[in-house]
Every structure is written in structure tokens, then in C-alpha cells.
Structure 1
């Protein structure tokens, strides 16, 4: 039995197009992997605080010197990291807001990227400590950005997840969702076909 971690980053939770696509994938996955455990982390309904100086200092403080407040901050981060470490498959719903990733997803990333915990620096460069995993990213965009300089997400997500050790990353795009009904239907049909292909 494997464990699948679904991360929703849409402001609209299950109503967002990225969440809808990711949900469809997870449902199809469950049909062919009925014994797998599915864990859902919704960053809209259960947001992670933005990283600030207080939280960053808690990460840097020696364990024996941490205050009770710092221990609570670190424990929250530790739980997020262990949840990700325990997953065999990760499914990420990724909307595009103002040419970037959602701020709530950035907050999540800031709490799971910790030197000596989720990655380490070596003579050969950074090394991820969470084990390699298959990652499926469902990217929903209002315009057409794939393979253009305005797609700031794809490279960033690959770089960040690669930093943690995840190399096997598959993107499914649904673009043109703000360009009219015909464009929406075409994008969703293409994404749906990819979901069928990936879960067959």
C-alpha cells in the first residue's frame, strides 16, 4: 500500500480549477489503487502562516535553546515535512496568480525547506533528504503561458522540488481558462485526457 499526498493551493479550495483537476486525478488513481491511502492538505482551509523573522529564528535556534513558542513553530514545520516524507506520490493543484504561485503555497514551501532536515548542503551541492517521489502537478491558468518566458511556475516548481530530492515531476496544464467557453472546454478536455493516460 502506498500513500498519496494531495496538496490544494487554490484560494477557492475544491471550487478552483486546479483542485478540480487534481481531485479528478485522485479519484481515477483510487480506482486503480484502491488500497492506497490518500492524505489531503488544503492550504486554503488550513493555511500555513507566512514566514517571518520570528518563525525563521525558531528554525535556526539550537533545539535545546528554543523557547516554548519556538518549539511550537518547529513542531508545525516538522509535521509538514514528515507528512511529505511519508508520501510515495504527491499531487499538487497549482493555479497561477499574477504570474506566480499562490502565496499560501509559498508559505508551505518556506516551512518544508529546512537545511539539515529536508535537504543538506554537500561538496557536490544541495541534496534532498525526503526521498524521491512521483509528483503530478495540475497547473490551471487563465491565459496561455506554457513554454513562454511568462511561465514562471514550471521552472520554479521543478527547481524547488528537485532541491528536496524529487526529480520525477509530471505537469498537466489547463490553460486559456479565462479566454471564453470554447477555450475552457478545450483545456479541460485535454487535461482530462492526460488524467486518463496517467491513471490507466
Structure 2
């Protein structure tokens, strides 16, 4: 295949992957960054602290925080990249230290499943109902394990965020060094 054919095919495929279209879907994905904090907006105070270190100025001016030249933009980008890297690293370390709790949806699922099982026990459900309830609880526990245990989906996601933050920091540092030299 020629490059033009590949490009056309890739563009056609990209049109199918444009994210959620409904308001409910958009609302759901809007909360993804708040779920673990690894990709949320960096704290401006921390960015300012790193910018002061990068520029080697203990006191920053408003001009430093709102740069007008290429070096200022690159320094600010490096400061933000550094803060994002630290946030991603902290989120991964907290997860690996066992501080990761189940998300609200998983906790709600578990409570519903436990309620169903309790009703089946209290009301003496049929064997089929008990098997269905047990299967439901197994699925909920598997989902929870994926969310809270090492090697699960959340762990892999946090590792990916850290790798992306490292790459962003490396590029920002190279850009900063190119204009600072």
C-alpha cells in the first residue's frame, strides 16, 4: 500500500474513534482524571516552585508566570512536566503501597451484591438463584481485584501515566536545554 492509501485509511478509522458522543458519556469520562489524581491539572503553586528552581530565581515575577518569549514558555512547560511526573509517580507509589481503595462504583456493586446474597439467605432462594448470586459476587470480586491489586487494570494504567509523564518531562527538558544554552 502507498502512503496515501495508508493515510486515507487511518483518517477514516480515526473518525470512528472520536470519544463519547452523549452527554452521559462525556460526563463519565470527564471524571477520569479525578479518579486517581495522576492526570489531573497540576497545582499552580507547585509549578511556580519548580519554575523558580528552573529559572534559578527565588522570587518570581508575573512575567515569569506569563512568559512572552520562547525560553519562558519552555521553562514553564518543563515546570509543569516536572509536577505532572511527580503526581503520576506519587499515584503509582500509593497504589503499590496498598493505599488504593475501590472506586465508588465498585463499592456500590459490592454492597448491592451483598444485599442480594443476604436476601437469598434470609428468604431461602432456589439453588439457581443462589448460583446466580454467587456468580454475581465472583464477578464483582474479580472486578475489584482488577481495580485494587498489583498487575490489574488500574495498576497498568498508572504505570502508563508515569511512562507518559517521563516522556513529556524528557521532551520538555530537551526543549528547555535547547533554548537555555
Task: Please classify the TM superposition score into its range, dividing by the shorter chain length.
Answer: under 0.3
TM value normalised by structure 1: 0.21
TM value normalised by structure 2: 0.22
Greater percentage in helix: 2
Bigger radius of gyration among the two: 2
